A and B are shown apart, each in its own frame.
Chain A
Amino acid sequence: LAKTTQPISMDSYEGQEVNITCSHNNIATNDYITWYQQFPSQGPRFIIQGYKTKVTNEVASLFIPADRKSSTLSLPRVSLSDTAVYYCLVAGYALNFGKGTSLLVTP
């Protein structure tokens, strides 16, 4: 399984753009990059998935450089409700979540 590395925590103010970068140096050719969000006492919620270049949906954007050894989740104009743990995963079906990035959004 490709190992991922992401910051343990990040702080942001409301309204700012937040970028969380994940390193996955040994990503396999067939691996997709998936990001999940988890609130306390809830199951992870799918945010976005991509293979290469840029993917955008109504919630976030995902930037993947050509070498695919890293990826950046971009959350535009965060609100207090975006305070959560964000997980970057690179794998097949056996997802193993690390400790993720704990994002704290304050007024």
Chain B
Amino acid sequence: NAGVMQNPRHLVRRRGQEARLRCSPMKGHSHVYWYRQLPEEGLKFMVYLQKENIIDESGMPKERFSAEFPKEGPSILRIQQVVRGDSAAYFCASSPRQGIGDTDTQYFGPGTRLTVL
């Protein structure tokens, strides 16, 4: 059973360009989470999605960032008009379910390291 897949592993963009990060969850997992890790910091929650639904985007910046998890295909984190402060490692995690009032184990991908020049 392959783990969580993320691509690309490294992405370089110039200021003002768009960045698209892809995440394929583990087989059988229908819940996807995106996190951002700045240098020397811990991961910070950004957004939680199920197929075709955004469940919680409370950690997403209000502008330029969006996420989707279509019925078919990977989840996409999209950053428009990137700025240098967007440079970070972006991690995706997946879980098979999310019960009410409990925590289901999240399995993380290897991350995408975004560098904005």
Contact = CB atoms under 8 A, between A and B. Distances in A.
B42 A31 contact: no
A91 interface: yes
A43 B42 contact: no
Given A43-B111, A46-B105, A97 B48 contact: no
Interface string A1-40: 0000000000000000000000000000011101010000
A1 to B, nearest CB: 9
29 contacts: A32-B102, A32-B103, A36-B108, A41-B113, A42-B110, A42-B111, A46-B105, A46-B106, A46-B108, A49-B103, A87-B42, A93-B31, A93-B33, A93-B56, A94-B56, A94-B58, A94-B59, A95-B33, A95-B35, A95-B43, A95-B93, A96-B42, A96-B43, A96-B44, A97-B35, A97-B43, A97-B44, A99-B40, A100-B42
Given A36-B108, A94-B59, 17 more contacts: A30-B101, A30-B102, A34-B103, A41-B89, A42-B110, A43-B93, A43-B109, A43-B110, A46-B108, A49-B103, A92-B101, A92-B102, A93-B95, A95-B33, A96-B45, A99-B41, A99-B42
